[in-house]
Structures are given as C-alpha cells and as structure tokens.
C-alpha cells in the first residue's frame, strides 16, 4: 500500500517462485554454508546447536514442541517443570553448555511432559512464557476453531452430494478474497474428449473400456 501511494497509484508485479516460499524460512542455512562450509543434514525434530528445542510426547499421546533455548527462557522452563536444579546449574547457563548436555535436558523435559496431558502442558508453559505449541494432526486442523474462523476449511460437495472439506484460499485479498469454485472432475470424466483428440474413435474407445484399459 505504501508503494501504491508513493507511486501515484501505480502497482507492481510480484515475482516469486514456489520454492522461494520455503527457502525464505530456512533461516541460517546459506550463511552457515557460506561462512563455515557446514551442510545441514537430517536432525529429526530438534535444532542442532540450539538447546533445548525439540518435540516431546505428552501423557495423553499428543506431542508438543518446546523451544526453551534462550538463557532466561531456559530458567523459566526448568522452574515450570520442577527442575530448578538444572536451571541453576552453571554448566547450563549458556547455550553452548546446554548443547553439550542436550540429551540430559531432553530426558528431563520428556519425563515431565510424559506425566501430563497436552492441554495441561501448554497451560503451564504459557504461564511460564515458554514458547510452545501442539503438533497438529489432520484431525486437529479439521476441528480447530481458528482454522474455521479464518475460512481455511471450506465445505464443498461431490457430484453425488457427498460433503467434502477443502483447504481455503491463501492469501486472502481484501477486495477479492477468492473461493474454490468446484472440487474438480471425477476420475475419467474427460477420457472420451482426450482420447478423441488423439484420434481414437467411439468404437475403439468402447473396446478399450471393455478390455479394462480405460
């Protein structure tokens, strides 16, 4: 909007590739390689070199991601889980020390989350101002009120009137927010037209159908 106002109402083209959307959130991937020649590899749910930051199983089988990797946040996290001894340990005051003892910290956090259901874990961590969040399943997304409030779950119908949910439109423009117009063709809906364009006549198509080819 600032560009629009500053340039006498003239707009501009937006040039972005699909992969660039993901590349933009890769954080220090390129600086690490450019400066140190370090190439990241698979690390599971943890963040190598930053501790503690991982995904933990709760007592009800759900999972929570916890990022207690700032020095002050770490102390609050340890207090929240009843491990002030770790929060006061000189060896764990800074991140480099915590990285060296990462397995020990993960075990302590896992022991705590494993005793409590997800909702209770999130409530305690929110009160302690520790960044955390549930790991969503498809069922969680489908039932989440925030997704519905944002119109990110659209209800449509198949040709036989069976209801089906689709993901909503991103991004939502103020004047033209957009909406999915139809769910797409059924399997084989355009087979005849496509094969006819390739020179296959009705008799040949009938034979192919009889043979189970199409």
DSSP string, 88-107: T-GGGSSHHHHHHTHHHHHH
Tell me which residue of 70, 78, 38, 41 sits closest to 53, measured CA to CA: 70
pLDDT for the residue numbered 26: 86
Give the tens place of pLDDT for each residue, 79-136: 999 999 999 999 999 999 999 999 999 999 999 999 999 999 999 999 999 999 999 9
> How far apart are the C-alpha atoms of 66 and 70, rounded to whole Å?
12
For the chain, what are the domain ranges? 2-36, 53-135, 136-181, 184-214
Please report the sign of the dihedral spanned by the C-alpha atoms of residue 37, residue 43, residue 45, residue 46. negative
The CATH superfamily assigned to 53-135 is formyl-coa transferase, domain 3 (3.30.1540.10)
> How far apart are the C-alpha atoms of 86 and 84, rounded to whole Å?
5
Does the pLDDT at position 66 exceed 80? Answer: yes
pTM here? 0.72
Residue 53's CB is within 10 A of a number of other CB atoms, namely 20
Mean pLDDT of the chain: 91
């Amino acid at each position: 909007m600032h560009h629009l106002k500053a340039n006498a109402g003239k707009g501009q083209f937006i040039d972005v590739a699909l992969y660039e959307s993901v590349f933009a959130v890769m954080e220090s991937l390129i600086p690490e390689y450019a400066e140190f020649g370090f190439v990241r590899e698979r690390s599971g749910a943890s963040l190598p070199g930053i501790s503690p930051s991982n995904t933990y199983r709760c007592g009800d089988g759900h999972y929570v991601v916890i990022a207690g990797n700032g020095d002050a946040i770490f102390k609050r996290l340890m207090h929240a889980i009843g491990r002030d001894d770790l929060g006061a340990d000189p060896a764990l005051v800074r991140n480099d020390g915590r990285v060296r003892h990462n397995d020990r910290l993960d075990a302590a956090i896992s022991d705590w989350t494993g005793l409590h259901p997800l909702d209770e874990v999130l409530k305690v961590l929110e009160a302690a101002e520790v960044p955390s969040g549930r790991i969503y399943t498809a069922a969680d997304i489908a039932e989440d009120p925030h997704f519905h409030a944002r119109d990110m779950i659209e209800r449509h119908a198949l040709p036989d009137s069976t209801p089906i949910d689709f993901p909503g439109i991103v991004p939502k423009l103020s004047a033209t927010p957009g909406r999915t117009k139809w769910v797409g063709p059924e399997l084989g809906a355009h087979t005849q037209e496509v094969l006819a364009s390739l020179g296959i006549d009705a008799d040949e198509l009938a034979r192919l159908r009889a043979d189970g080819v199409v």
